[in-house]
Amino acid sequence: MSALDAFLIMLAVLALLGVIFEEVIHINKAKVTLFFGTMSWMLLFLFSDNAGETSAISDGLSESIAEIAGLWLFLVAAMTFVAYLNKKGMIENVIYLIMPKQVSERRLLFL
């Protein structure tokens, strides 16, 4: 294992710790993962040995960006849809329809 591989693994562990301790460090997990992910890709590009490796890294980055963009598009669309339903009161109506007026804690545990 090269020094770069070890350093990238260390960055991944730091990113994981940043996500785990989000409430303690008061930094959003999206910011932590974007920062460490960007840092990792930059290091891969900077320390690539030959043109073939650089091409493979570029292809991997393009694929990762496409996956991330697709995920962001899905999340934004889903959040917009849920916000619209919430504004119209439909989510609250469904909750009242599904849940009876009084639910015991024991019954709520098994729902």
Per-residue pLDDT reduced to its tens digit, 10-19: 999 999 999 9
Domain boundaries, the chain: 3-79
What interhelical angle do 29-46 and 3-20 show, nearest 10?
Answer: 170
If one counts every other C-beta atom within 10 angstroms of the C-beta of residue 11, the result is 16
What secondary structure does DSSP assign to 55-99, as a single string? HHHHHHHHHHHHHHHHHHHHHHHHHHHHHHHHHTTHHHHHHHHHS
Spatial CA neighbour of 49 closest among 41, 37, 57, 59 = 57
Instruction: Kindly report the pTM of this predicted structure.
Output: 0.64
19-69 per-position pLDDT tens digit: 999 999 999 998 999 999 999 999 999 998 888 999 999 999 999 999 989
